[in-house]
């Protein structure tokens, strides 16, 4: 095989055994890898509870990982989300994907539960399970220092060990598989860390073809201001988006009660750059390098984190923003959910949080103590326990990122239809609604958005399966990546062939969610967005979303996606996509 | 959707890319809408069914593009391979098929953004907007135009012009739209209000499109005012710049330039180095064609002229520099600004022309027009017409 290594490792933590599986080429070609293949392995278990020992956690590479393909260092981690109950997955960078591939593995499926805290250490195909009880409660940075000699490191922090529903898995000390709380699934298995070191090489079918396709992509990336422009994410990190969101009046402020933050100009990426003079860093195999590390190793927050730890909490202290980010990383918890849960708490209690309170509440959450215990359950469960679930600004119980949906209607629809709950990355319509890529669309209109969102969800499912970084798609498209895929694997493919697979992958997720009872009822936004206006001004009007138009767009989406009017999968569509049709209990339907 | 579809059909006609009544443009959300009904819709609806797209454009190009494309397609095996920067960066190559059949069309469009079907026309698509289909179509016309005239010049030099080529050339030349004798009068500077800057930029953009000095959404315009560079946004159409101009502070205090034109850095360096305030960039065709005509047969950088050309090249007083779109290692932001010092304009190899002016866009526009006229005269001089 080229691109793929042809081997999947299965580890059973209950019995401390492992085996190697060699899937046939059809399985690979049907699911590509990454998120697609992970979904294939997750599906049979999806109706289990997330803490059922048999629930797998899946680490999966795509065929492009470890090759010269641009942004080839990403991978997918998937399980069932403790936070949302949906399929739960994250694309994550760092070096884990690359090391895994060099070890001759496409992925690892971990099931079972250890009776004490352990770590898994992999060197090529040799697997060692070690006692990790001395690392119990250890923060990310120290654990990383201890383990980095063993290659790439994926680990959980104290938050996961203390039951935080939005705890993350952190790779190489700072690359977070942040969303959906999948860190908690590792904790439920008593697995503190995983290290991988590989010494092999990834076979490529056609090196010349790969080089050509790669140059095409480099050229497009260079021509894209948001990436390589002098104020683009290569130089300012994803925080480059901050000023734009503010000027477009869609920066969620005060728990989404406003959409413009008066101190934004003092908290932006330019202010961070001045203060910390960061260097460029990033995932293995990437030339964009969107991560920023300041003097003394300070990690500069990403856009979502910057926005939520400033505007959403009305915090005007840039150092608190940076410290909050560092603390979430250290504890191993998702910055979006953490900040948004604090904002919800602030609104319910009617108290604006001081910088000191923000830090101490985050500590409490990570340590599972005091008020942190209830806040660690996420904003939805917290708000519901106070009788005000509508003040949790979440979809499917997962907190929304830093794009106010009243300022980008495609984003509104995409938040609602996302299979992992409140997430901007399933479709990322910000690309055309705000960043004008590939061309601009009218951000205040639902017209045409249903099909666009469906196509983008399919596309991003492919990107997360190849695997590549979504950022490169501001510049490039599947047209170029299909050539990369063909050159790497030798399997001839076009952009449209890949999109078809993306459609299968996404529909598979809809089926998995349906089997857990998800329907149109959950494909919805918090009532605030339909009732309250955002902060209008400078000729921009931020109106409440029109509920009727939203529902019409969602109905269109269902039709285009091939779902029934309740958002439920349809047998004919499933079989058209080559998917098995199962009822809610998991047995085959007639 | 219908509104958008109609808008781009009208733009095709007004840009001289299609005759009235020729374009067939469909937009699909939950329902499919066409700008008009036509027997070809059936075949195209099958294409829609087979591809994950939201718009599809089919049209016969207007002259002179029609004659050019028919001629190039005839000599092409599976694709036409133009060498200009739009093709290199976005289109890669231009596939050609022989039958107007959904299967063949689908096959080609699965891989590329356009397909040419001799005797029928061009088909292009979009995934988020009919605007993409319009842009791809327009890029095909532009690229073929440039290739046709470039090839002809080379073959004249080599003495290999075929009879048919000569016939087509003559026909095409007869159908060229002449450049305006005089430049239009644009708003006069010095501008006292920010509002005037916005208006002047929009007006200059519109004039550039109206006089066919740029195609589709390419080109960009900027003006320095109060230590801020006001610049057209990336992927904006120069004839519709209202609401699509980004004010980018020159002191790096904000990242708003991430939606600005990909040439923001080049524009900024140009104003800083030259002390000029207005920068105008279009893709006038003969400037592009002339820039690609180099007689240095034995150059070791042949095939890489657009990035590696080591020569100081000129057409009359106008420098020609290599450089790719954007800020990459071969980005034109490195080559253009130094070349602009002491010149009224600079041509970027295979790409387009940048001009400057002091207090408003009159000078920059006049430069754009005059340099294009000079390049056109030079071209016909070189081919001996
Ligand atoms: S752009 Fe950033 S996130 Fe994407 S691969 Fe590169 S460094 Fe990683
Ligand atoms: Zn240009």
Q: Are A414 and A422 in contact (CB under 8 A)?
A: no
Render pLDDT for A151-189 as a digit per residue (tens, 0 to 9). 999 999 999 999 999 999 999 999 999 999 999 999 999
| Residues A437, B234: C-beta atoms closer than 8 Å | yes
Report chain B's mean pLDDT, rounded to a whole number: 94
Please state the rounded mean pLDDT for residues B136-165. Answer: 96
State the pLDDT at residue B123.
Answer: 98
For the Cβ of A284 lying below 6 angstroms from any atom of ligand 1, the answer is: no
| Residues A241, B113: C-beta atoms closer than 8 Å | no
Residue B214 maps to a domain: yes
Render pLDDT for A76-102 as a digit per residue (tens, 0 to 9). 999 999 999 999 999 999 999 999 999
State the pLDDT at residue B217.
Answer: 67
If you search the block for the tokens 């009208």, which residue do you land on? B10
Whether residues B205 and B270 fall in one domain: yes
| Residues A222, B132: C-beta atoms closer than 8 Å | no
At the topology level, CATH places domain A210-399 in 1.10.569
> Which range has the worst mean pLDDT, B190-194, B253-257, B277-281, B368-372?
B253-257
Please tell me which of the candidates A224, A231, A494 has its beta carbon nearest to residue B326. Answer: A224
Q: Which residues of chain A neighbour B251 with C-beta distances below 8 Å?
A: none
Please report, in angstroms and rounded to a whole number, the separation of the first and last CA atoms in chain A. Answer: 37
CA atoms within 13 A on the CB side of A534: 28
Interface test with A, best of B29, B103, B281 (most A CBs within 10 A): B29
The CA distance from A315 to A328, in Å, is 16
Please state the rounded mean pLDDT for residues B71-81. Answer: 94
State the pLDDT at residue A584.
Answer: 47
State which residues form the domain around B169.
Answer: 2-174
Q: Are A191 and A59 in contact (CB under 8 A)?
A: no
CA-proximal residue: ligand 1, atom 4 (nearest): A469
Q: What is the 3-state secondary structure (H, E, C) of A129-155?
A: EEECHHHCCCCHHHHHHHHHHHCEEEE
Question: In angstroms, what separates the C-alpha of B128 from chain A's closest C-alpha?
Answer: 6
Cis peptide before A269 (omega within 30 of 0): no
Q: Are A169 and A176 in contact (CB under 8 A)?
A: yes
Answer with the one of B143, B174, B205 that is the final residue of a domain: B174
Please tell me which of the candidates A221, A244, A451 has its beta carbon nearest to residue B258. Answer: A244
Please state the rounded mean pLDDT for residues A178-206. Answer: 98
State the pLDDT at residue B91.
Answer: 83
Whether residues B134 and B201 fall in one domain: no
Residue B182 maps to a domain: no
The CA distance from A475 to B328, in Å, is 13
Interior/surface letters B80-92, b for 16+ CB within 10 angstroms, e for the rest: bebbbbbbbbbbb
Q: What is the pTM of this model?
A: 0.92
Residue B243 maps to a domain: yes
Render pLDDT for A35-79 as a digit per residue (tens, 0 to 9). 999 999 999 999 999 999 999 999 999 999 999 999 999 999 999
Whether residues B157 and B224 fall in one domain: no
The total number of structural domains that make up chain B: 2
CB atoms within 10 A of CB B299: 15
Cα dihedral B258/B259/B260/B262 (nearest 10): 70
The CA distance from B359 to B188, in Å, is 8
For the Cβ of A93 lying below 6 angstroms from any atom of ligand 1, the answer is: yes
CA atoms within 13 A on the CB side of A558: 18
**CATH code, residues A8-197:** 3.60.9.10
If you search the block for the tokens 């000129």, which residue do you land on? B314
The CA distance from A511 to A514, in Å, is 5
CA-proximal residue: ligand 1, atom 8 (nearest): A283
Please state the rounded mean pLDDT for residues A402-412. Answer: 98
| Residues A448, B27: C-beta atoms closer than 8 Å | yes
Going by C-alpha positions, the residue among B379, B361, B378 that lies closest to residue B183 is: B361
Q: What is the largest CA-CA distance in chain A?
A: 64
A279: three-class secondary structure by DSSP: strand
Please tell me which of the candidates A233, A270, A438 has its beta carbon nearest to residue B252. Answer: A270
Residue B116 maps to a domain: yes
Whether residues B238 and B304 fall in one domain: yes
Domain ranges (residues) in chain A: 8-197, 210-399
Question: In angstroms, what separates the C-alpha of B265 from chain A's closest C-alpha?
Answer: 7
Whether residues B73 and B215 fall in one domain: no
Residue B188 maps to a domain: no
CB atoms within 10 A of CB B227: 8
- What one-character DSSP code corresponds to residue B338? H
Higher pLDDT, B183 or B262: B183
A15: three-class secondary structure by DSSP: coil
Render pLDDT for B348-377 as a digit per residue (tens, 0 to 9). 999 999 999 999 999 999 999 999 999 999
Whether residues B33 and B86 fall in one domain: yes
CA distances from residue A513 to A32, A76, A195, A520 in whole angstroms, order as listed: 21, 18, 31, 11
State the pLDDT at residue A583.
Answer: 57
Q: What percent of chain B has pLDDT over 70?
A: 99
Question: In angstroms, what separates the C-alpha of A114 from chain B's closest C-alpha?
Answer: 45
> pLDDT tier at A589 (50, 70, 90 boundaries)?
very low
Please state the rounded mean pLDDT for residues A450-468. Answer: 96
The CA distance from A500 to A498, in Å, is 5
Higher pLDDT, B1 or A168: A168
Q: Which residues of chain B neighbour A445 with C-beta distances below 8 Å?
A: none
Q: Ligand 2 center to residue B89 CA distance, Å? A: 11
Q: Ligand 1: which of A174, A239, A288 to mutate, judged by most atoms within 8 Å of the beta carbon? A: A288
State the pLDDT at residue A587.
Answer: 43
Q: Which ligand is nearest to the CA of B219?
A: 2
The string of DSSP letters for B139-193 reads HHHHHHHHHHHHHHHHHHHHT---HHHHHHHHHHHHTPPPPPSSPPP---S---S
Whether residues B270 and B121 fall in one domain: no
Please tell me which of the candidates B54, B255, B326 has its beta carbon nearest to residue A269. Answer: B255
Question: In angstroms, what separates the C-alpha of B264 from chain A's closest C-alpha?
Answer: 8
Q: Which residues of chain A neighbour B325 with C-beta distances below 8 Å?
A: 219, 222-223
Which atom of ligand 1 is found nearest the CA of A285? Answer: 5
Whether residues B211 and B170 fall in one domain: no
| Residues B110, A219: C-beta atoms closer than 8 Å | no
DSSP H helices in A440-567 = 449-466, 478-489, 495-515, 528-531, 547-561
State the pLDDT at residue A415.
Answer: 98
Whether residues B316 and B167 fall in one domain: no
Q: Are A65 and A467 in contact (CB under 8 A)?
A: yes
CA distances from residue A459 to A329, A463, B104 in whole angstroms, order as listed: 29, 6, 23
Is residue A586's pLDDT more than 50?
no
> pLDDT tier at B282 (50, 70, 90 boundaries)?
very high
A60: three-class secondary structure by DSSP: strand
Whether residues B12 and B132 fall in one domain: yes
Residue B272 maps to a domain: yes
The distance from CA A70 to its chain's CA centroid, rounded to whole angstroms, is 19
Please tell me which of the candidates B4, B27, B265 has its beta carbon nearest to residue A230. Answer: B265
Q: How many beta-carbon contacts under 8 Å exist across A and B? A: 170
Is residue B88's pLDDT more than 90?
no
Answer with the one of B126, B144, B174 that is the final residue of a domain: B174
In sequence order, the β-bridge partners of residue A333 are A167
In sequence order, the β-bridge partners of residue B345 are B355
CA atoms within 13 A on the CB side of B190: 6
For the Cβ of A282 lying below 6 angstroms from any atom of ligand 1, the answer is: yes
Structure tokens at A225: 């201001």
If you search the block for the tokens 């800057």, which residue do you land on? B197
Given CA atoms A346, A351, A354, A357 in this order, what sign does their dihedral have?
negative
Beta strands A107-111 and A8-12, pairing class: parallel
Whether residues B170 and B204 fall in one domain: no
Answer with the one of B174, B206, B241 that is the final residue of a domain: B174
ipTM: 0.86
Is residue A507's pLDDT more than 60?
yes
Q: Which ligand is nearest to the CA of B347?
A: 2
Is residue A414's pLDDT more than 60?
yes
The CA distance from B261 to B275, in Å, is 20
Whether residues B293 and B153 fall in one domain: no
For the Cβ of A290 lying below 6 angstroms from any atom of ligand 1, the answer is: yes
Residue B187 maps to a domain: no
If you search the block for the tokens 């138009």, which residue do you land on? A549
Beta strands B79-80 and B94-95, pairing class: antiparallel
| Residues A219, B27: C-beta atoms closer than 8 Å | no
Burial class (CB in 10 A: 0-12, 13-18, 19+), A128: exposed
Render pLDDT for A294-350 as a digit per residue (tens, 0 to 9). 988 899 999 999 999 999 999 999 999 999 999 999 999 999 999 999 999 999 999
Q: Which residues of chain B neighbour A451 with C-beta distances below 8 Å?
A: 28-30, 54
CATH number at residue B251: 3.40.225.10
Residue B95 maps to a domain: yes
For the Cβ of A286 lying below 6 angstroms from any atom of ligand 1, the answer is: yes
Residue in B closest to A410 by C-alpha: B128
Is residue B216's pLDDT more than 70?
no
Is residue A588's pLDDT more than 60?
no
Q: Are B132 and B125 in contact (CB under 8 A)?
A: yes
């Amino acid at each position: 095989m080229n691109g793929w290594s042809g081997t999947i490792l299965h580890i059973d933590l209950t019995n401390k055994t492992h085996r190697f599986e060699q899937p046939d080429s059809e399985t690979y070609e049907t699911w590509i890898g990454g998120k697609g293949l992970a979904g294939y392995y997750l599906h049979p278990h999806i109706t289990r509870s997330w803490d059922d020992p048999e629930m797998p956690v899946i680490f999966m590479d795509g065929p492009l990982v470890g090759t010269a393909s641009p942004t080839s260092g990403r991978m997918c981690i998937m399980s069932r989300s403790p936070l949302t109950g949906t399929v739960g997955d994250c694309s994550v960078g760092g070096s884990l994907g690359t090391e895994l591939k060099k070890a001759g593995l496409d992925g690892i499926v971990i099931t079972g539960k250890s009776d004490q805290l352990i770590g898994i250490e992999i060197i090529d195909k040799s697997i060692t399970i070690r006692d990790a009880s001395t690392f119990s409660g250890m923060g990310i940075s120290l654990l990383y220092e201890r383990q980095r000699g063993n290659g790439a490191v994926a680990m959980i922090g104290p938050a996961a060990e203390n039951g935080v529903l939005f705890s993350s898995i952190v790779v190489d000390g700072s690359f977070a598989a942040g969303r959906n709380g999948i860190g908690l699934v590792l904790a439920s298995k008593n697995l503190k860390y995983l290290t991988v070191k590989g010494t092999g090489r990834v076979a490529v079918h056609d090196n010349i073809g790969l080089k050509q396709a790669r140059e095409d992509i480099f050229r497009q990336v260079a021509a894209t201001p948001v990436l390589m422009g002098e104020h683009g994410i290569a130089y300012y990190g994803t925080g480059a988006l901050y000023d734009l969101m503010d000027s477009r009046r869609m920066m969620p402020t005060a728990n989404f009660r406003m959409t413009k933050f008066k101190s934004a100009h003092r908290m932006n990426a330019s202010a961070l750059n001045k203060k910390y003079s960061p260097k460029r860093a990033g995932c293995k195999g990437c030339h964009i390098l969107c991560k920023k590390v300041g003097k003394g190793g300070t990690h500069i927050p990403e856009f979502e984190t910057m926005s939520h730890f400033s505007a959403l909490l009305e915090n005007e202290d840039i150092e608190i923003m940076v410290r909050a980010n560092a603390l979430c990383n250290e504890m191993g918890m998702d910055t979006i959910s953490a900040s948004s849960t604090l904002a919800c708490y602030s609104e319910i209690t009617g108290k604006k949080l001081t910088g000191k309170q923000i830090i101490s509440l985050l500590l409490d959450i990570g340590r599972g103590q005091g008020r942190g215990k209830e806040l660690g359950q996420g904003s939805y469960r917290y708000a519901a326990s106070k009788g005000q679930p509508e003040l949790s600004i979440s979809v499917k119980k997962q907190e929304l990122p830093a794009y106010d949906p009243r300022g980008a209607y495609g984003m509104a629809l995409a938040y609602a239809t996302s299979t992992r709950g409140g997430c901007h990355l399933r479709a990322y319509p910000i690309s055309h609604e705000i960043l004008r890529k590939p061309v601009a669309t009218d951000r205040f209109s639902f017209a045409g958005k249903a099909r666009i969102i469906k196509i983008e969800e399919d596309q991003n499912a492919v990107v997360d399966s190849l695997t590549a970084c979504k950022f490169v798609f501001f510049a490039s498209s599947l047209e170029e990546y299909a050539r990369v895929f063909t050159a790497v694997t030798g399997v001839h493919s076009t952009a449209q062939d890949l999109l078809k697979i993306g459609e299968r992958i996404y529909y598979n997720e809809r089926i998995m969610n349906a089997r857990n009872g998800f329907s149109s009822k959950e494909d919805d936004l918090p009532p605030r967005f339909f009732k309250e206006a955002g902060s209008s001004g400078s000729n921009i009007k931020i109106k409440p979303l029109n509920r009727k138009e939203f529902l019409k767009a969602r109905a269109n989406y269902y039709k285009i996606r091939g779902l029934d009017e309740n958002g439920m999968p349809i047998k004919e569509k499933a079989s058209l996509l080559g998917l098995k049709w199962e009822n809610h209990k998991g047995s085959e339907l007639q | 959707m219908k509104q958008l579809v109609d808008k781009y059909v009208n733009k095709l006609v007004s840009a001289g890319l299609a005759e009235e009544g020729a374009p067939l443009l469909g937009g699909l959300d939950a329902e499919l809408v066409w700008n008009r009904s036509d027997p070809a819709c059936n075949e195209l609806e099958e294409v829609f069914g087979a591809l994950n797209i939201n718009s599809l454009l089919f049209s016969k190009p207007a002259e002179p593009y029609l004659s050019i494309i028919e001629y190039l397609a005839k000599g092409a095996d599976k694709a036409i391979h133009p060498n200009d920067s739009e093709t290199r960066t976005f289109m890669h190559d231009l596939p050609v098929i022989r039958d107007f059949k959904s299967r063949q069309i689908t096959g080609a469009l699965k891989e590329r953004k356009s397909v040419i079907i001799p005797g029928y026309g061009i088909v292009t698509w979009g995934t988020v907007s009919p605007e993409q289909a319009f842009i791809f179509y327009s890029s095909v016309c532009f690229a073929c135009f440039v290739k046709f005239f470039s090839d002809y010049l080379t073959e004249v030099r080599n003495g290999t012009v075929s009879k048919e080529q000569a016939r087509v050339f003559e026909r095409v030349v007869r159908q060229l739209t002449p450049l305006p004798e005089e430049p239009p009068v644009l708003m006069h500077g010095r501008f006292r209000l920010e509002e005037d800057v916005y208006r002047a930029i929009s007006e200059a953009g519109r004039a550039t499109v109206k006089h066919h000095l740029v195609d589709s959404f390419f080109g960009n315009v900027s003006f320095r005012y109060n230590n801020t560079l006001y610049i057209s946004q990336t992927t904006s159409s120069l004839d519709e710049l209202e609401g699509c101009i980004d004010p980018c502070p020159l002191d790096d205090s904000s990242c708003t330039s991430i939606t600005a034109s990909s040439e923001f850095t080049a524009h900024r360096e140009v104003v800083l180095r030259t002390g000029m305030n207005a920068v105008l960039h279009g893709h006038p065709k003969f400037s592009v064609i002339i820039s690609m005509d180099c007689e240095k047969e034995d150059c070791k950088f042949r095939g890489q002229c657009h990035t590696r050309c080591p020569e100081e090249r000129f057409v009359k007083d106008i420098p020609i520099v290599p450089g790719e779109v954007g800020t990459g290692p071969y980005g034109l932001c490195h080559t253009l600004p130094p070349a602009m010092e002491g010149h009224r304009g600079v041509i970027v190899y295979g790409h387009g022309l940048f001009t400057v002016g002091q207090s408003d866009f009159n000078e920059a526009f006049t430069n754009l027009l005059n340099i294009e006229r000079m390049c056109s005269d030079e071209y016909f001089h070189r081919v001996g017409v």
